[in-house]
Amino acid sequence: MTNEISEIQFTANSEKKLIGVHPDLVQVMRLALRYALVPFSISEGLRSMARQRDLLHEGKSQTLKSRHLTGHAVDVVAMPAGVVSWEWDYYAQIAVAVRRAAQECGINVEWGGEWKTLKDGPHFQLPFKDYPA
Whether pTM exceeds 0.75: yes
- Indicate whether 130 belongs to any domain: no
**Under 8 Å between Cβ of 33 and 40:** yes
CATH number at residue 18: 3.30.1380.10
- Indicate whether 76 belongs to any domain: yes
- Indicate whether 66 belongs to any domain: yes
- Indicate whether 116 belongs to any domain: yes
**Model pLDDT, residue 1:** 45
pLDDT tens over the chain, length 133 residues: 445 555 789 999 999 999 999 999 999 999 999 999 999 999 999 999 999 999 999 988 888 999 999 999 999 999 999 999 999 999 999 999 999 999 999 999 999 999 988 789 999 999 999 999 7
The count of domains in the chain is 1
- Indicate whether 132 belongs to any domain: no
Q: Report d(CA 126, CA 48) in Å as an integer.
A: 18
- Indicate whether 1 belongs to any domain: no
- Indicate whether 5 belongs to any domain: no
Q: Which domain holds residue 103?
A: 12-125
